[in-house]
Structure 1
């Protein structure tokens, strides 16, 4: 004889009538720890991500949404399908559908760290560099809005400090070789290679660029690597990974060829973003973590593309 009792029907107070009833713009969960699948090679990678999810609550008299349904959808689909614009659209559509008429729009914020392999400047060695990424996707009236944010680090050598250093070096050269005639090429080269040949050095510092772009809808893959490459190339001095002596010398030469204030860095990155047909709007903020001062030098600029 089967004595198993039927499972009790559990109450769901989210279906109760709402006090002070009104629709709500957004309801959801912030800071969910979930795996995210990236198509960054074969096989795809799973990386840890921090996710915020929300839908609107369109029915004024309904007390709450079904949050557990959102969580289970995110857990299944973010790990099951590589991140892309179509995948995000499908996930947002599923979030809306899971609420069974309570919502007609949804949004996601996904934060994770992306590893890109970078070549050394000269030696041919390879190393890995970490890039913090934030993806924000919103589906409203069937239209997908997608924004991509990321940051990268670079070296900035101060143009004013470089000019002052050159003046100090020239003054020492003039003092050391006053009255020495004729000057041989060998003597000048030996002086430049000695400690006397460096009277002053310009100050340089690690710096950071933060970029946020609103992407046009006519694409599938998120162009993270391409945008990082373009930003780093525009500045010319991205921080390095695997470094041998020949790489370090090449890095010093790149810094000398790319002297920049924070204003210069912001304009260089802006020029790249303004010319990119994939981008509808963009924001750039740079910070030079000064070695001369205890404060940072910062600049920001934003724009929309035609």
Structure 2
């Protein structure tokens, strides 16, 4: 018998489609694969969830879905921003496409040092990378981080005799980046805009510090969003961005939110409708 790989099997995807309608994006979504991230020179292994699509011409019946998985199988080395863009360009080559998008979301762990005791612990941050690639235009790379932080209410501090209410905040930054910028750097932008950072492990001396640090640095949700936007405006490696802050209120059964989206003013339709 002939070996299975030598059988002359029909290739339905490569047939001509007569409806003459191009498809903007076709591919795979929700693909979970191990990934090793290269950031600040330290390879970090984690689990990535991929979405990979390419444009399909009006005459092509279908794309070759198996080649998306082959792409991930071939990626053996740690992946940074440059390698991720190269992965996207390789995707176009494998699928004979002129444009496409590759996205991956993954939990990323940073090692943090407590402010007084200096004890160390890991803190998880949700990270996303996206590369829009084309054979005709320069690639566009964007990075998204979801960073936990502390905010303390200025109004509560002003009117109260015994303290002020605070809450945990989620800061989302979705930034289009034109040069090498590490995950840690973008996380730092978010943390520096908050009333105080959060840590995985704190001793009592650290708890005293973070409590007083937040009290001395009160911020409304609007303040967090604006201060982070100021920092991003000053960063030459960031072209367009969306910042969204959600405060999980401690005195209400609802959240407070604020969003600044400079992509809308600069014509980037990919960032016009929030940071998700």
- Choose from 147, 155, 159 the match for 2:154: 159
Equivalent position of 1:84 in the other structure: 80
Indicate the SS of the match to 2:88. helix
Q: Secondary structure in 1 aligned to 2:250?
A: coil
Cα drift, residue 292 of structure 1: 1.0
Corresponding position of 1:96: 92
1:108 to 102, 111, 114: 102
Question: Does the Cα contact within 8 Å between 1:153 and 1:208 map onto a contact in 2?
Answer: yes
Q: 1:41 to 1:144 in 2, by over 3 A?
A: closer
**1:68-96: CA deviation from partner (whole Å, max 9, x where unpaired):** 1121112321xx12222321232122211
- Tell whether the 8 Å contact from 2:113 to 2:119 is kept in structure 1 after alignment: yes
Root-mean-square deviation (Å): 1.9
Deviates most, 252-261 or 200-209: 200-209
Q: Which residue of 2 aligns with 1:173?
A: none
**More helix per residue:** 1
Per-residue CA deviations over 1:148-181 (Å, capped at 9, x if unaligned) read 0001111111111112213xxxxxxxxxxxxxxx
What do residues 102-129 of structure 1 show as CA deviations (whole Å, max 9, x unaligned)? x201210100011000110100111110
Following the alignment from structure 1 to structure 2, what is the Cα–Cα distance between the partners of residues 27 and 159?
49
C-alpha separation between the residues in 2 aligned to 1:25 and 1:291?
44
TM-score, scaled to structure 2: 0.89
Match of 1:256 in 2: 215
In the alignment, the residues of structure 2 paired with residue 92 and residue 287 of structure 1 have an alpha-carbon distance, to the nearest angstrom, of: 32
**Structure 1 residues 92 and 205, CA, compared in 2 at 3 Å: closer, same or farther?**
same
Secondary structure in 2 matching 1:251: helix
Please give the alpha-carbon distance, in whole angstroms, between the structure 2 residues aligned to 1:299 and 1:41.
31
TM-score by length of 1: 0.80
TM-superposed CA distance for 1:236, in Å, is: 4.2
Partner of 2:256: 297
- Structure 2, unmatched stretches of 5+, are 267-276
2:183 and 2:156 map into 1 onto residues whose CA distance is 34
Q: 1:273 to 1:41 in 2, by over 3 A?
A: closer
CA contact (8 A) 1:214 1:279 kept: yes
Distance across 2 between alignment mates of 1:57 and 1:243: 53
Equivalent residues, number: 262
Structure ID, larger Rg = 1
Work out whether 1:15 is the aligned partner of 2:10.
no
- Which of 183, 201, 206 is the aligned partner of 1:247? 206
Q: For residue 247 of structure 1, give the secondary structure of its aligned residue in structure 2.
A: helix
Question: Is the Cα–Cα contact under 8 Å of residues 231 and 272 in structure 1 kept in the other structure?
Answer: no
Deviation at 1:38, TM superposition (A): 1.4
In structure 2, the residue corresponding to 1:143 is in which secondary structure? coil
* Conserved? CA contact 1:37–1:47, under 8 Å: yes
- 1:67 matched to 2:71? The reply is no
Shift of 1:273: 0.7
* Structure with the higher fraction of residues in strand conformation: 2
Secondary structure of 1:148's aligned partner:
strand
* Counterparts of 1:86 and 1:157, CA distance in 2: 38
1:66-215 superposed matches below 5 A: 66-77=64-75, 80-100=76-96, 103-140=97-134, 141-166=136-161, 200-215=162-177
Q: CA deviation at 1:242?
A: 1.6
Quote the offset at 1:285 in angstroms. Answer: 0.5
Gaps of 5+ in 1: 167-199
